[in-house]
A and B are shown apart, each in its own frame.
Chain A
Amino acid sequence: MNNVLFINTFRFLLLLAVQIIIFNNMNFLGYISPFPYVLFIILYPVNSNKFGLLLASFLLGLTMDVFSNSGGIHTAACLILAYYRPYLFKFSFGLSYEYQTIKLNDVITPERFSFILFSVLIHHFVLFILEAFQFSFFWDILIRTVLSTVFTIILCIIIIYLIKPNRR
Chain B
Amino acid sequence: MQQIFNFIYKNSNRLLFLLLLGISLFLTIQSHSYHRSKVISSANFVSGGVYEKINNVSEYLNLRTQNEMLAQENAKLRSYLFDLKDSTAISKLDSVKGMRDTDIIVSKVIHNSFNSYENFLTLNSGANQGVKSDMGVVNSLGLVGIIDNVSPNYSTVVSILNVKSQINAKIKKSNHFGSLVWNGKSTGYAQLIDVPRLAAIRKGDTIVTGGQSVIFPENINIGTIDRIYVDNQTHYYTLNIKLFNDMTNLGHVYIIKSKDREEIINLEKGRKNE
A contact set with B: CB distance below 8 Å: 20-21, 24, 27, 30, 33, 50-51, 54-55, 58, 61-62, 65-73, 75-76, 79-80, 82-83, 130-133, 137, 140
Contact A67 B184 (CB under 8 A): no
State how many angstroms separate the Cβ of B40 from the closest Cβ of chain A: 6
Number of chain B interface residues as a range? 35 or more
A76 and B187: CB pair below 8 A?
Answer: no
User: Within B2-39, which residues are at the interface with A (CB < 8 Å)?
Assistant: 12-14, 16-17, 20-21, 23-32, 36-37
Interface residue from B12, B23, B42, B116 paired with A67 (Cβ < 8 Å): B42
Which chain A residues lie closer than 8 Å to B20 at the CB level?
Answer: 54-55, 58, 75, 79
Q: Which residues of B contact A (CB under 8 A)?
A: 12-14, 16-17, 20-21, 23-32, 36-37, 40-42, 44, 46-47, 50-51, 54, 113-118, 120, 122, 156, 184-187, 248
Beyond A30-B115, A69-B156, is A133–B42 a contact (Cβ under 8 Å)? no
- Determine how close the nearest CB of chain A comes to the CB of B159; give it in whole angstroms: 10
In the assembly, what is the distance between CA of A81 and CA of B112, in Å?
A: 28
Closest residue of A by beta carbon distance from B46: A66
Tell me the bound Cα distance from A54 to B12 in angstroms. Answer: 12
Name which residue of chain B comes closest to A127, CB basis. Answer: B116
* Chain A proximity of B169: nearest CB distance (Å): 23
* Bound: A133/B31 CA distance, A: 11
Assess whether B41 is in contact with A69, with CB atoms less than 8 Å apart: yes
B37 contacts A71, CB within 8 Å? Answer: yes
- The answer for the CA separation of A16 and B115 in the assembled complex, in Å, is 18
Q: Name 21 interchain pairs, CB-CB below 8 A, sorted by A.
A: A20-B54, A51-B12, A58-B24, A66-B41, A66-B44, A68-B116, A69-B113, A69-B120, A71-B28, A72-B25, A72-B30, A72-B31, A75-B20, A75-B23, A75-B24, A75-B28, A76-B21, A76-B24, A79-B21, A130-B28, A140-B184
Contact of B27 among A20, A54, A72, A132 (CB under 8 A): A72
Instruction: List, in ascending order, chain B residues with CB within 8 A of A27's CB.
Output: 114-115, 187, 248
Are A65 and B184 also in contact (CB < 8 A) when A33-B115, A51-B13 are? no
CA distance A61 to B28 in the complex (A): 12
CA distance A26 to B47 in the complex (A): 19
In the A-B complex, the 4 residue pairs with the smallest Cβ-Cβ separation, listed nearest first, are: A71-B31, A72-B27, A75-B24, A72-B24
Q: Which residues does chain A contribute within 8 Å of B40, judged by CB atoms?
A: 62, 65-66, 69, 71-72
Q: Which residues on the B side are within 8 Å of A61 (C-beta)?
A: 24
Cross-interface CB contact of A69 among B23, B32, B42, cutoff 8 Å: B42
For A65, the closest partner residue in chain B by CB is B40
Closest to B186 in A: A30
Complex Cα distance, B184 from A39, in Å, reads 28
B51: A residues at CB distance < 8 A: 67
A61 and B25 CA atoms in complex are apart in Å by 12
- Nearest B-chain residue to A132, judged by Cβ: B117
Task: Known A67-B42, A72-B23, A72-B31; judge A83-B17 contact (CB<8 A).
Answer: yes
Chain B residue contacts of A137, Cβ below 8 A:
117, 184
A75 / chain B contacts, CB cutoff of 8 Å: 20, 23-24, 27-28
A33 to B32, CA, bound (A): 21
In the bound complex, do residue B13 and residue A50 qualify as a contact, i.e. CB atoms below 8 Å apart? Answer: yes
